[in-house]
Chain A
Amino acid sequence: MDYALYIATVIGAAALFMMMPRRGVRTGRIGAILGGATLGGLWLYLSRSFEAGGGASSMAGLGDGATPYYYVFSALAIGSAVRVITHTKPVYAALWFVMVVLASSGLFLVLGAEFMAFAMVIIYGGAILVTYVFVIMLASHAGDPPPEGAASRAGAGPGESPDYDKLAREPAAAVAVGFVLLAVLLNVAFEPMRRNPAAEAPSDAAIVRDVLTERPAGIIAPGAASDAADAAPVLDNAERVGLDLFQSHPLGLELAGVILLVSLVGAVVIARQRADAADGDGGLRGAGGPSGTPLNGGT
């Protein structure tokens, strides 16, 4: 049985709870050490349990020496994700999220999905995160007068995070529920491995040789073609994704374009500041009532 997975889940939950920003005693450092130790122990357990599995060694292997990269990129992704949700400054949380994106792009490279890796870096790390950083900049508190009636900002000096960034909301309950969900997910994910420990990823060469004998090898994996005659229809990853996208999902592609257009128009309508309302000192702040909101269109 995989009690090690459950033990790692519980200790990881405790470590995450210690790292949550709270008032009072600072246990972040202890939590970080505990979490790192948990992750290291989990990696040791995973690599050992598969080493001792036994079975079809000729079928094993995702690629040439890809396994260490999985552990490195996965640890980077998980550690950065923890920093995203525990850092008290939103800008740093966004920058740590860039780290999560880069690490999971590394995981995609391990999986042989090069197009997805680069698309992820360009779209997430380049476009979406720049939008986030712009909004953080627009919504910064620098130079704002202290708002009346917003007691949550009391005690926040200049250059210091406001209270709602420094205090987590219900950290114990959230961590408990989240990690119960994680335990269930891991139980499901590792069930086939427990039943059949030899169920590794078949290597490309093994699949070409044993499973799909009637197909030319170049279709399955470019590197696995044994002779020149098989290698005629070699497709790389981007070409295969493009073929599948345009052959099997043309309607979805059109709908995606419509969704992007609608969200573009919607974002402009939502975030637009009316020129007459912006002339006042407070922007839309003083405009009360439904006629003052920018959502009812121009009147």
Chain B
Amino acid sequence: MNVPIDSLTLSHFLLTGAVLFVLGLVGFVTRRNLIVMFLCTEMMFQGVVVSMVAFSRFHLNVTGQTFVIFALTIAAAEAALALGLVVLLYRRKRTLDAEAWASMQG
């Protein structure tokens, strides 16, 4: 008895979500450009969103998709504030290098 190849499980989508999250995390740690670092946080959001929609579909509970709307709201607010900060920091030092602000680490 064999299941046809046309069968996806929740694990498939969790794999995609986990890979997107981890790639965003690695990018956040390794990149030194402030803008690209915040782009990587958006990629971590993408991984979480893929997982939430997959849970919503496989558990037949639409609340997962509702929470994606809230995640989108927070992502938009975070992008606006973070990019405002980036513009401010760029005006102060004329560079986007995160290392230029290393004196803030105490």
**Interface contact A267-B35, CB-CB below 8 Å:** no
List, in ascending order, chain B residues with CB within 8 A of A210's CB.
none
**Interface contact A53-B62, CB-CB below 8 Å:** no
Q: How many residues of B contact A (CB 8 A)?
A: 81
List, in ascending order, chain A residues with CB within 8 A of B24's CB.
81, 85
Q: How many residues of A contact B (CB 8 A)?
A: 109
Segment of A25-33, A112-120, A226-234 in the binding face: A112-120
Could you name 9 residue pairs across A and B whose Cβ atoms are closer than 8 Å? A51-B7, A60-B7, A74-B15, A85-B31, A90-B39, A152-B100, A169-B30, A182-B18, A263-B76
Q: Does B60 contact A (CB under 8 A)?
A: yes
CA separation between A176 and B57, bound complex, in Å? 32
Q: Does A34 contact B (CB under 8 A)?
A: no
Q: Does A142 contact B (CB under 8 A)?
A: no
List, in ascending order, chain B residues with CB within 8 A of A93's CB.
36, 39
Q: Out of B15, B30, B85, which one reaches A20, CB within 8 Å?
A: B30
Query: Chain B 1-21 against A: per-residue CB contact (8 Å), 1 yes, 0 no?
Result: 111111111111111101111
Q: Interface on chain B toward A: helix, strand, loop, or mixed SS? A: helix
**Interface contact A50-B65, CB-CB below 8 Å:** no
List, in ascending order, chain A residues with CB within 8 A of B13's CB.
70, 107, 111
List, in ascending order, chain B residues with CB within 8 A of A259's CB.
73-74, 77
**Interface contact A256-B73, CB-CB below 8 Å:** yes
CA separation between A16 and B83, bound complex, in Å? 27
Q: Does A209 contact B (CB under 8 A)?
A: no
Closest Cβ–Cβ distance, residue A269 to chain B (whole Å)? 8
**Interface contact B22-A179, CB-CB below 8 Å:** yes
List, in ascending order, chain B residues with CB within 8 A of A165's CB.
32-33, 36
Closest Cβ–Cβ distance, residue A155 to chain B (whole Å)? 14
CA separation between A51 and B9, bound complex, in Å? 12
Query: Chain A 79-95 against B: per-residue CB contact (8 Å), 1 yes, 0 no?
Result: 00110110000100110
Closest Cβ–Cβ distance, residue A117 to chain B (whole Å)? 9
Closest Cβ–Cβ distance, residue B59 to chain A (whole Å)? 10
Query: Chain B 85-97 against A: per-residue CB contact (8 Å), 1 yes, 0 no?
Result: 1111011111111
Q: Does A7 contact B (CB under 8 A)?
A: no
The residues in A between 119 and 162 inclusive whose CB is less than 8 angstroms from any CB of B are: 119-120, 123-124, 127-128, 131-132, 135-136, 138-139, 144, 147, 150, 152-153, 162
**Interface contact A78-B65, CB-CB below 8 Å:** no
CA separation between A200 and B4, bound complex, in Å? 11
**Interface contact A111-B53, CB-CB below 8 Å:** yes
**Interface contact B49-A50, CB-CB below 8 Å:** no
**Interface contact A283-B91, CB-CB below 8 Å:** yes
**Interface contact A270-B20, CB-CB below 8 Å:** no
List, in ascending order, chain A residues with CB within 8 A of B90's CB.
138-139
